[in-house]
Homo-oligomer: A and B are copies of this chain.
Amino acid sequence: MNTQTTTEFAPILVADIGGTNARFALITDFNAQTNQFVIEHNLTFPSADFGSLESAINQYFSQISFPKPSRACLAVAGPIKAGQVHLTNLGWHFNVADLKAEFSFEQLEVINDFAAFAYAAPYLDDSQNMAVKAGQADENANIAVMGPGTGFGAACLVRTSQGSAVLSCEAGHITLAAVTELDRLLITELKKQLNHVSVETVFSGPGIAHLYGAMAAVKGVEAKNLDAAQISELATTGQCEVCDATLNQFCDWIGSVAGDLALTFGALGGVFIGGGILPRMQQRLLSSRFVERFADKGIMSQYTSQIPVTLVTQDNIPFIGAAACIHVKSNA
């Protein structure tokens, strides 16, 4: 029987399970004043040290001196299909119901990393993140999250008077649209090598290399065999004009992509951009045409103009999102 008062917070085990690291923490409280979760007992293990998720969780519990919580949410870098999770890089496989039974959790949720980002969005710390575009967020409306990394991820926190839910999706794979004449020329070049020019074929780590190749062709320059890190290095040090133009175009064009996703997700609650790439090009993003291209949507330009866009650089997003997933459901 639960004899706690309703004001007492039942701790939540949260985890961020990736191919490299398995990170665990306990959410021990929620501060309604600051709208922040209290994250404690944060431990990181190399994922490859464990043969299964279960053994990693057991290792975590053995290292903290805290009663095992009855609620848990795991953010995993991979798809969850009908309660089954395969983390192919690690060879880990688990079933959500079996895991729940094994650890006697009263509540267990498993969500993917961009779903966690969407759940986390209302609980971020403004002081740790960067406003890319000013606006007026509707606090009851949908929030879009997105970002280029290994691929292009996106999700939406849907909030209506009838209920809320997180939409997980494959938005990175839609056909990339051209807005400017340069966009069009670049897509024409990309099509020479790629069957389908999707958003992700440009807006991702490997995509930067594709975009560089196309930019070189448009400029009539011979492309070198460079990866994203090399392109970024040569652009930043001023050693390669094509690399510089590539990253500028990347920052400009992603504004149009983000504006389209804001429209498709009805994201009057705001857009949050993250992932591995954009936090490393903050100044370039700020001096780019991102804001102009985000808003440039014909008769809907007023709609997109009012939406704030935030670059998320704070750590612990998967922990916050996992906590929010449980917290929102418990307080529904």
CB within 8 Å of B: which residues of A? Answer: 82-83, 109, 111, 138, 140, 142, 154, 156, 158-171, 173-179, 184, 187, 194-196, 198, 201, 256, 259-261, 263-266, 296-301, 303, 325, 329, 332
Contacts and interface: CB of A to CB of B under 8 A. Distances in A.
B256 A175 contact: yes
A329 B162 contact: yes
Nearest to A293: B175
Contact of A167 (B82, B265, B296): B265
How many copies of this chain? 2
Contact of A198 (B168, B175, B266, B297): B297
Nearest to A256: B175
B325 A170 contact: no
A7 B95 CA distance: 34
Given A175-B177, A195-B298, A169 B264 contact: yes
A296 B194 CA distance: 13
A82 B268 CA distance: 12
A156 B163 contact: no
A297 B263 CA distance: 21
A166 B160 contact: yes
Contacts of A154: 264
B265 A163 contact: no
Sorted nearest first, the 4 A-B pairs with minimum C-beta distance are A196-B298, A169-B266, A177-B177, A174-B260
B164 A163 contact: yes
A83 B160 CA distance: 11
Given A173-B300, A260-B175, A165 B162 contact: yes
25 contacts: A109-B162, A142-B167, A154-B264, A156-B167, A158-B165, A158-B167, A160-B165, A162-B166, A162-B325, A163-B164, A163-B165, A163-B332, A164-B165, A169-B265, A173-B303, A174-B260, A174-B264, A177-B178, A194-B298, A195-B298, A196-B296, A198-B297, A198-B300, A261-B264, A264-B265
Contacts of A109: 161-162
B329 A169 contact: no
Contacts of A170: 263-264, 266, 300, 303
B297 A173 contact: yes
A159 to B, nearest CB: 8
Given A163-B164, A165-B160, A266-B168, A173 B298 contact: yes
Nearest to A326: B162
A329 B296 CA distance: 37
A297 B297 CA distance: 24
Contacts of A158: 156, 158, 165-167
